[in-house]
Amino acid sequence: MSGLVTPHRFDGKVVAVTGAAQGIGLTVATRLAAEGASLILIDRAEIVHEVAKGLRENGTDAHSITADLEQFADAEAAIDEARQQHGRLDVLINNVGGTIWAKPYEHYTAEQIQAEVQRSLFPTLWTCRAVLPHLIAQQSGTIVNVSSVATRGVNRVPYAASKGGVNALTASLALEAAQYGIRVVATAPGGTEAPARRVPRGPGAETDQEKAWYQQIVDQTVDSSLLKRYGTLDEQAAAIVFLASDEATYITGTVLPVAGGDLG
């Protein structure tokens, strides 16, 4: 990774990262490893086991779990297994989600709307619910949710609504959890440059019309950014890891936009 690293910042910390097999989640996991964390990597893609193996070969304590976090039973089982690895869990980073289709709202089917919400809201709802009793019992812990500035964006209304739900969850759960010494925070990434996904989120743009709709997303994202560019994976990971760290112990209930000046 090319981002700045703070050595030993997570020494002695047990951190679970969902959606850790690729993209932002993989970059977050790699940075946490460099900063001393013991990692639990959760993803429904089998390649998460390759990621954990690579980190272990470099000296990191890393355990991998495959789970479909769109289902509460899987989320609960994954969190239980994660906690059993070290007897506790200090940080949960909820990174699962992402636009499946890109098109004006009137072109979505009911099934597609439900699938978008199931992908980008429910995994965070489920894992927060699953981890909360453990953190309450510990009287400590941090949850970092990965939202999006696309709550104000074109051609992905169901995704925007889902991430608006993540923002509301973050604010409301922080109010409830503070009495137990638990922080709940979020970042809201903007457009982010990333390698092609090894496991795609959806069918991708195929027709000329679908490609034009997707290009509208790109154009609006860049135009909304004061810096007029996409961010990098390292820029996204830096904010997530900071909020997860003890450097952010007086921050809770807030969503930090990481989008070059676009506030969403």
Name the residues annotated as catalytic. Answer: 159
Pairing between β-strand 91-94 and β-strand 141-146 as defined by DSSP bridges? parallel
- C-alpha distances in angstroms, 230 versus 24, 126, 160, 256? 14, 30, 18, 17
- Looking at 42-98, list the stretches that DSSP marks H as alpha helix, in order from N- to C-terminal side: 48-57, 72-86
Residue where the block lists tokens 């003890």: 246
Phi, psi of 30 (to 5 degrees): -65, -40
Q: What tokens does 115 get?
A: 């699938």
Specify which residues 41 forms β-bridges with. Answer: 17, 64
What does the alpha-carbon distance between residue 109 and residue 97 come to, in Å, rounded to a whole number?
Answer: 19
